[in-house]
A and B are shown apart, each in its own frame.
Chain A
Amino acid sequence: MTSLGQLFDVKYALQILPELARAATYTIGITLVGFAIALVLGLVLAIMRRSDFAPLAKTTAFFIEFIRSTPLLIQVYVLFYVAPLYGFTMSALTAGTLGIAVHYACYVSEVYRAGLNGVARGQWEASCALSLRPWRTYTGVILPQAIRPVIPALGNYLVAMFKDTPVLSAITVVELMQQAKNIGSETFRYLEPITMTGIFFLIISVTFASGVRHIERRVRLP
């Protein structure tokens, strides 16, 4: 019987740890920047979708459906390999971050939409009766109430987005998963890098999730 020690070489694992950690920070960076963009863009999309101006609302709804209904892989491919043919040249990192951000912005906008629909009509009416301008109505009254209850759902997408970053390896972004595969192809030992990558993903996801729970608690109303 093979013992665990023979199967999993701890010394080798420790040796590749720095390389994987570097790739992990890279992956975290892509996730945080991408998610920050997704949060803002998603909100803009959600509000545009509610516009009274029908062409804007319809175009936005179509855009959201289109992005949600096509694979992320194809979208980042188009951004990185096809867009340059039309003069938009980006680095793999930029294209990847932008692609994943726009993709998740569309999911996140649906979460915001649910939150916005959940705000009582009376809140809009009270804002109108107090003559609050549209900007202040959104930022001061509606959004604080719309976002609080959907923070857990937004947190879900943060973790989902993090776990989708390996897709970016298709356009040469060396994120955590790709780094693991690169190490494996050099040494022909896959078990250690892949296992450790899994552990990295697990630890980082759990950290993100608990961060989101922390925010949730901090903004809870009495």
Chain B
Amino acid sequence: MTATQYQEQQMKRDFDPALGRAADASANTPMVRFRNVTKRYGPLTVLDGLDLDVAPNEKVAIIGPSGSGKSTLLRVLMTLDPLTDGVIEVDGQPLTHEMRGGKLVPASPRHVRQVRSKIGMVFQSFNLFPHMTALANTIEAPMSVLGLSKKEATERARELLSLVGLAEKCEHYPSQLSGGQQQRVAIARALAMRPKIMLFDEVTSALDPELCGEVLNVIRRLGEEHNLTMLMVTHQMGFAKEFADRVCFFSQGKIIEQAPPQQFFSAPQHERTRQFLRAVTEAL
């Protein structure tokens, strides 16, 4: 769907009460909706007209071979990369466009920031600010973006840092922490913005196997104790199997197969999926 088609649909929604109600009923509105999402880098198509709905509170694991567009999906959702075509809706609001005067226009930076503030992201390479302590990393955005006082932000940050098991490390700089600890600070930092959606982009790939566990445990706890919609790109098949509500298999910019984990791993439908799963199991 192009932006124009999307606009037509939006108008229709405004005029058609039946469709409008159905679409606006919050129970049915997906937390994230990708429609015809396309991303090209020059001649290379990374995301190829992708459709995906993620329900509120759903945990979606995204797996697939490298270069299949998994990370790009998270990156376009986080607005780190612009879309070539298609529409993304977050919590019912279009991400890159906004309605102004009954027309769909490219979103202002303010609108993008407002919609994006519902999303938190954790990166493969942590990306902590190296010149700030764990605590300073965590209070930075709540203070400068949400306008919290230093006291409030610090209170919240200490809570979150103890949630990820790092209450003792508040005053440590990233260089003084292990990879697993850095990644847990990064999770606390993202959570400090109170997002509804958390994106995890291969968050354990840069870690020793031994340190993976502590990060995955934190994610597991978040999933159990908080109402968070999660999209995670991962190579940890075991974790995907046990934690996710749905597994999506990516290949060449498309979702080839998606299913609940039990079904996905025990009875994959597509040859490409089987091939991938075989290769992954052999590697273990």
Contacts and interface: CB of A to CB of B under 8 A. Distances in A.
Given A122-B125, A129-B121, A130-B189, A221 B145 contact: no
B123 A126 contact: yes
B127 A122 contact: yes
A128 interface: yes
Nearest to A135: B144
Interface in B70-85: 78-80
Contact of A133 (B125, B144, B189, B193): B144
B190 A129 contact: yes
B113 to A, nearest CB: 5
A133 B131 contact: no
A222 B176 contact: yes
B56 interface: no
B80 A145 contact: no
Contacts of A120: 125, 127
A132 interface: yes
A128 B189 CA distance: 13
A140 interface: yes
A221 B173 contact: yes
Interface in A91-132: 120, 122-123, 125-126, 128-132
B78 A130 contact: no
* Binding site secondary structure of chain A: helix
Contact of A125 (B127, B128, B144, B176): B127
A194 B129 CA distance: 51
B65 interface: no
Contacts of A123: 127, 129
A131 B145 contact: yes
B130 interface: yes
A129 B120 contact: yes
Interface string A60-89: 000000000000000000000000000000
Residue of A126, A132, A141, A148 contacting most chain B CB atoms (<10 Å) = A126
B144 to A, nearest CB: 5
B175 interface: yes
Contacts of A198: none
A213 interface: no
Nearest to A222: B173
B175 A222 contact: yes
Nearest to A126: B127
A145 B145 contact: no
Interface in A133-160: 133, 136, 140-141, 144-145, 148
B80 A129 contact: yes
A153 B138 CA distance: 32
Nearest to A123: B127
Interface of B: 78-80, 113, 116-117, 119-121, 123, 125-131, 140-141, 144-145, 173, 175-176, 189-190, 193
28 contacts: A122-B126, A122-B127, A125-B78, A126-B123, A126-B127, A128-B78, A128-B79, A129-B78, A130-B140, A130-B141, A130-B190, A131-B116, A131-B141, A132-B140, A132-B144, A132-B145, A133-B113, A133-B145, A140-B129, A140-B140, A140-B144, A141-B140, A144-B131, A145-B130, A145-B131, A221-B131, A222-B173, A222-B175
Interface of A: 120, 122-123, 125-126, 128-133, 136, 140-141, 144-145, 148, 221-222
5 residue pairs, one from A and one from B, having the closest CB atoms: A126-B127, A130-B141, A122-B127, A129-B121, A136-B144
Given A122-B125, A145-B129, A221-B175, 5 more contacts: A126-B129, A131-B117, A131-B141, A221-B130, A221-B131
